[in-house]
Amino acid sequence: MNDSAPLRGTAPDTRRRTAPGTSRRAVLRSLALAGVLAGTSLATLPPAAAGNGAPETYTLTIRHLDRAGATTGGYLTHVTGISGPGASEEATPYDESGTVTVRLPEGRYLLDSTLSGPAGTTGTDWIVQPRLDLNRDTTVTVDARTTAPVDVRPPEPGARHLNSLGFVEVTHGGTTRSANVMTSSPGLRVAHLGPDGESGSVREWFDTYWSGASNDYALGYTFTAERALTGLVRHPTATSLATVKIRAAAPEGTTGTGFVSIQPSAGPTVGLVRPLRAPGTATVLVTPERGLWDVDHTGPAAPETPPNRYSAHAFPVHAGATTTHTFDNAVFGPALDASPGARPAGVRDGDTLALDLPLLADGDGHAPTAPRFHGATTTLHRDGVLIGTRQGDPGRATFTTTSGPASYRLTATATRGDGAEAGGRVTAVWTFTSAAASRPAALPLSVVRFAPALDLDGTAPAGAPVRVPVTVQGAAAVTGVRSLTVSMSADGGSTWTRVPVVNGRAAFQTPGPGRSVSLRAELTDTRGNTLTQTLRNAYRTR
């Protein structure tokens, strides 16, 4: 999953802010682990020593008023330095009287305060002053009467609020500081305090998560301005939201309950985490204006076996459209990450040749963290001579060769399943030429992906004509394909029949009930590099 640590279900009102040099994602991880912070009392800081080149300090007095206008001790206030001599300062002053003083060096500060009502009341007030220029003794009044409601709700009237996160970042002089509030309770109100900052200096995120009768909701909004928000009203319609379907498969009878999570890709968030029994589907409606989204799936845990995790990150969504991600289903096989900046699947660095490729990615191409396999072997030949054999993780191996140009044959194989549960076998054989260079270079590796329409138990109808999508990834997708042939087998790979590939689809008829379909691709790219990829018992019929 992305670097944040989503909270499962609801959480108590919790808040943190970033100290200098702390990432906002690390802050949210601490949110998930910390528990209740509200009510923590820290003594007023003593006056700073003067002289000896120490920066000038000033007294900051902060008064806290509740929604009735009375002074209150029910607050948690934080002051964080942004620029000037006080840029590295951080203080959480408290006095039960509701008025507190602290001495700080001159500089620009971010102040935020969370106020809570007396016991038995509901509602939280979050007041943010993104620009506090401390250049003289200063008094600030944090007044809950200035706040306005955060009224963000899904189009389903009976949906239950799980949690909300408000997060603000303030930038000045090239330095960014942040603060946040998180609540699982209704009645959050927010307000800006003090003068405006510079144009675009304040960025703010609000994410709310809800559980409905048949759908969940992840509603997120972002703002860039010179002020913090005072109130927020958003009532999206169903047609203005995008639908994300998360399907957990149970191939070969691997049933059980796992977890799925969804969260925006950018900015801080706590995410929505829900249990999901396999086979099963979770449906979440999300706000397209929040940008790209991330989904993670943790499969059912087996005794003495680490849970298998899959991720689909940074995918776009569109209002009124449905995006579906299926995890842990056939056809299992090699997959390459084509996202910008992704690490190559194979690299030649001097005399070292390394393969790092998910050999048992699921049918959607998601790479597992703990693939189920029973034996995996990788071998490398140079000009027909065996360089070495490696056993261990499928598709991962490192070899040492010699510098001169040569022809290589790299073979990776793995048997799916575990022990008596072992099933299909995946084999990829690449040939290419390579020589040592002055800098690391990607190996010209390609893979072929097959995407038949399968139920969540990994099966397709028996005796039916099918047109299976075939996709080329890797080097051949860039330089071009010279030839590509596809064959299928209905007897576990004992015999093979070449099938036509028209408009990117392989056409054949599935065998009778309870049989398996095996698939083979033979590819040559325009530079003469080849791939022979065999997926024995790729999927079953019913």
Per-residue confidence of the chain (542 residues) as pLDDT tens digits?
A: 333 333 223 333 444 444 444 444 444 434 433 332 333 333 333 444 445 567 899 999 999 999 999 999 999 999 999 999 999 999 999 999 999 999 999 999 999 999 997 655 668 999 999 999 999 999 999 999 999 999 999 999 999 999 999 999 999 999 999 999 999 988 899 999 999 999 999 999 999 999 999 999 999 999 999 999 999 999 999 999 999 999 999 987 778 999 999 999 998 889 999 999 999 999 999 999 999 999 999 998 777 778 889 999 999 999 999 999 999 999 999 999 878 788 899 999 999 999 999 999 999 999 999 998 989 999 999 999 999 999 999 999 999 999 999 999 999 999 987 544 447 999 999 999 999 999 999 999 999 999 999 999 999 999 999 999 999 999 999 999 999 999 999 999 999 999 999 999 999 999 999 999 999 999 999 999 999 999 999 999 99
pLDDT computed for residue 353 by the predictor: 97
Question: How do strand 57-65 and strand 138-143 relate by DSSP bridges?
Answer: parallel
What is d(CA 134, CA 57) in angstroms, rounded to the nearest whole number?
9
Dig out the tokens for 356 from the structure.
């790092």
What is d(CA 460, CA 538) in angstroms, rounded to the nearest whole number?
11
What is d(CA 61, CA 46) in angstroms, rounded to the nearest whole number?
13
What is d(CA 325, CA 247) in angstroms, rounded to the nearest whole number?
6
DSSP line for 384-417 = TEEEEEEESSTTEEEEE--SS-EEEEEEEEEEES
- Asked if residue 23 lies in contact with residue 68, where contact means CB atoms within 8 angstroms, the answer is no
What is d(CA 538, CA 488) in angstroms, rounded to the nearest whole number?
10
pLDDT computed for residue 268 by the predictor: 86
What is d(CA 39, CA 358) in angstroms, rounded to the nearest whole number?
48
- In whole angstroms, how far apart are CA 168 and each of 162, 196, 228, 273? 21, 14, 8, 23
Dig out the tokens for 415 from the structure.
């048997």
pLDDT computed for residue 464 by the predictor: 97
Torsional sign, CA 83, 85, 88, 94: negative
What is d(CA 252, CA 42) in angstroms, rounded to the nearest whole number?
57
Residue among 242, 273, 239, 274 at smallest CA distance from 155: 239
Dig out the tokens for 116 from the structure.
């809570």
- Asked if residue 232 lies in contact with residue 261, where contact means CB atoms within 8 angstroms, the answer is no
What is d(CA 89, CA 103) in angstroms, rounded to the nearest whole number?
11
Q: Residue 522 corresponds to which amino acid?
A: E
- In whole angstroms, how far apart are CA 510 and each of 415, 461, 506, 517, 538? 23, 7, 12, 7, 12
Q: Residue 372 corresponds to which amino acid?
A: R
DSSP-derived letter for residue 18 is P
Query: 216 phi and psi, to 5 degrees?
Result: -105, 170
What is d(CA 285, CA 335) in angstroms, rounded to the nearest whole number?
29
Q: Cβ neighbours of residue 30 under 8 Å, at least 6 residues apart? A: 16
pLDDT computed for residue 10 by the predictor: 30
Domain covering 238-327 assigned CATH 3.40.50.300 in the classification: no
pLDDT computed for residue 267 by the predictor: 87
Task: Note if the bond before 149 is cis, omega within 30 degrees.
Answer: no
DSSP line for 465-490 = EEEEEEEEEEHHHHH-EEEEEEEEES
Dig out the tokens for 15 from the structure.
């808040």
pLDDT computed for residue 119 by the predictor: 58
The boundaries of every CATH 2.60.40.2190 domain in the chain are 238-327
